[in-house]
């Protein structure tokens, strides 16, 4: 199996008409923007104050200690199974399910799981399960020190850094599917976060564990959510998106998701592969610079847009975080477009290998190349349209009525650029 663009699996060009793809995307964004400007003059999203309560019995089951313990035990068992497979199993993703479990079932599988069930990264966290075992350690002579609070300005920046490290491992690192690479990553990841939690308490995981933060952000677009009063509710996912807290590091986290997925889109193109292989810096260094450049480009474009927003309305104190939530649907669209095929083929193959099928072949994709192309373009365009809706609702809340439409033009231009760039990566 070739592992160029992902830890496992490959991606190929799709039969998309550039004219129809670009024209359709631009028309969808323009019509959405104009319709919102004419018909949406007041903010309609209520964030964590919205939602229809689910039955009390269902909430009691979801909040029961036994349920939470069972879910974390399941996560810990999954981590243990991966480690044992890496230590004792055969080499190579063709025969060993561990690489597929990490790169497909965990990384890609968190997307549909979080969209359907909410923040499963926290609920099934093996790190939280291991941290909870501290109570089983023999009592020490001196009482444990109280957790040291994390600086408020730190936000989720550690999670953004962790996501960048993992995407580097997935997309750049040599021998990324080898047992050695994965064991080193899992050991370092576990040690860093358990030490962080020992110093700062369980709040460390909510702000520093990349998989937990990744899942929690995607869960903002889930129809399942929590109101401000803690009630489990069904809601319009855009209300959940509006409740995304504007914490420091949110922009960095979303830019890592967008930039790494963009890099994934062009990293398996023949031109890029040839450039990396012939680079005087070496393959790994050149690919690392490419990944960092993709993330930096996404971030610079967003910062320029936020700066233009600030010039149009001086009353916006934090333009970077005020509209950062509108990038989440865009990131989701990119994730679906680039990883759907990988998930529906490599996911079942990984399960078959885990169940004992040696050298299992991946099942045929459920869609034809044309159908997959249509799905990918639709995912990207839909994500950007939802981003336009989220940004417009926030704009009419923050801008004076006379400036609500004109004030968000920088964001609209940015989303057009992101859309065209995302589609360009598919058809390049």
Segment among 29-38, 250-259, 419-428 with least mean pLDDT: 419-428
Select from 181, 148, 420, 411 the least CA-distant residue to 301. 411
Instruction: Say which DSSP state 248 is in.
Output: T
Instruction: Record the pTM.
Output: 0.89
According to the model, what pLDDT value does residue 55 have? Answer: 94
Phi-psi region of 218 (alpha: psi -120 to 50; beta: other; left: phi over 0): alpha
Q: Residue 417 pLDDT more than 70? A: yes
pLDDT in tens, 231-256: 999 999 999 999 999 899 999 999 99
According to the model, what pLDDT value does residue 14 have? Answer: 53
For residue 204 the two structure tokens come to: 């460390």
Q: Given pLDDT bands bounded at 50, 70 and 90, which one contains residue 404?
A: confident
Q: Residue 177 pLDDT more than 80? A: yes
Average pLDDT over residues 120-142: 80
Q: Residue 386 pLDDT more than 70? A: yes
According to the model, what pLDDT value does residue 255 have? Answer: 94
Segment among 3-17, 75-89, 330-344, 359-373 with least mean pLDDT: 3-17
141 contacts: CB under 8 Å, gap ≥ 6: none
Q: Residue 331 pLDDT more than 80? A: yes
- Structure-model confidence comparison of residues 220 and 10, the more confident one: 220
According to the model, what pLDDT value does residue 139 have? Answer: 54
Q: Given pLDDT bands bounded at 50, 70 and 90, which one contains residue 12?
A: very low
Select from 226, 197, 29, 64 the least CA-distant residue to 126. 197
Is residue 254 exposed (0-12), middle (13-18) or buried (19+ Cβ within 10 Å)?
buried
Q: How far apart are CA 240 and CA 339, in angstroms?
A: 24
Q: Residue 314 pLDDT more than 50? A: yes
Q: Residue 122 pLDDT more than 80? A: yes
Contact (Cβ atoms closer than 8 angstroms) between residue 321 and residue 248: yes
According to the model, what pLDDT value does residue 317 have? Answer: 72
According to the model, what pLDDT value does residue 143 have? Answer: 60
> Within 64-104, where are the H helices?
65-88, 98-100
Instruction: Say which DSSP state 96 is in.
Output: -
Q: Residue 426 pLDDT more than 80? A: no
pLDDT in tens, 58-89: 999 999 999 999 999 999 999 999 999 999 98
For residue 78 the two structure tokens come to: 């999954």
Q: Given pLDDT bands bounded at 50, 70 and 90, which one contains residue 211?
A: very high
According to the model, what pLDDT value does residue 3 have? Answer: 43
């Amino acid at each position: 199996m070739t592992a160029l663009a992902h830890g496992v699996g490959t991606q190929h060009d799709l039969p998309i008409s550039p004219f129809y793809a670009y024209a359709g995307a631009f028309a969808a964004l323009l019509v959405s923007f104009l319709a919102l400007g004419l018909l949406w003059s007041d903010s309609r999203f209520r964030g964590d104050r919205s939602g229809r309560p689910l039955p009390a019995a269902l909430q009691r089951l979801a909040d029961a200690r036994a349920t939470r313990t069972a879910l974390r035990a399941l996560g810990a068992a999954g981590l243990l199974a991966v480690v044992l497979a890496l230590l004792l199993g055969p080499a190579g993703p063709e025969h060993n399910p561990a690489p597929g479990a990490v790169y497909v079932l965990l990384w890609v599988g968190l997307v549909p799981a979080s969209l359907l069930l909410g923040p499963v990264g926290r609920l099934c966290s093996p790190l939280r399960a291991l941290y909870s075992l501290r109570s089983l350690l023999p009592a020490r002579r001196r009482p444990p020190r109280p957790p040291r609070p994390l600086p408020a300005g730190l936000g989720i920046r550690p999670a953004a850094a962790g996501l960048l490290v993992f995407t580097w491992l997935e997309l750049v690192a040599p021998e990324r599917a080898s047992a050695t690479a994965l064991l080193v990553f899992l050991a370092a990841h576990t040690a860093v976060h358990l030490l962080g939690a020992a110093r700062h308490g369980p709040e460390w995981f909510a702000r520093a564990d990349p998989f937990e933060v990744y899942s929690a952000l995607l869960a903002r677009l889930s129809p399942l959510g929590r109101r401000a009063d803690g009630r489990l509710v069904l809601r319009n996912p855009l209300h959940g998106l509006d409740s995304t807290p504007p914490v420091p590091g949110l922009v960095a986290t979303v830019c890592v998701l967008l930039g790494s997925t963009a890099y994934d889109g062009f990293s398996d193109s023949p031109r890029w592969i040839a450039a990396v292989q012939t680079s005087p810096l070496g393959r790994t260094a050149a690919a690392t610079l490419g990944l960092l450049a993709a993330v930096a480009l996404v971030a610079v474009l967003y910062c320029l847009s936020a700066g233009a927003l600030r010039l149009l309305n001086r009353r916006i104190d934090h333009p970077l975080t005020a509209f950062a939530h509108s990038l989440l649907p865009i990131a989701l669209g990119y994730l679906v477009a680039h990883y759907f095929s990988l998930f529906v083929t490599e996911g079942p193959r990984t399960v078959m290998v885990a169940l004992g099928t040696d050298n299992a072949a991946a099942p045929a994709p459920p869609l034809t190349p044309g159908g997959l192309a249509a799905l990918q373009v639709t995912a990207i365009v839909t994500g950007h349209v939802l981003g336009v809706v989220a940004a417009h609702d926030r704009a009419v809340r923050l801008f004076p009525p006379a400036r609500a439409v004109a004030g968000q033009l920088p964001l609209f231009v940015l989303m057009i650029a992101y859309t065209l760039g995302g589609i360009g990566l598919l058809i390049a």
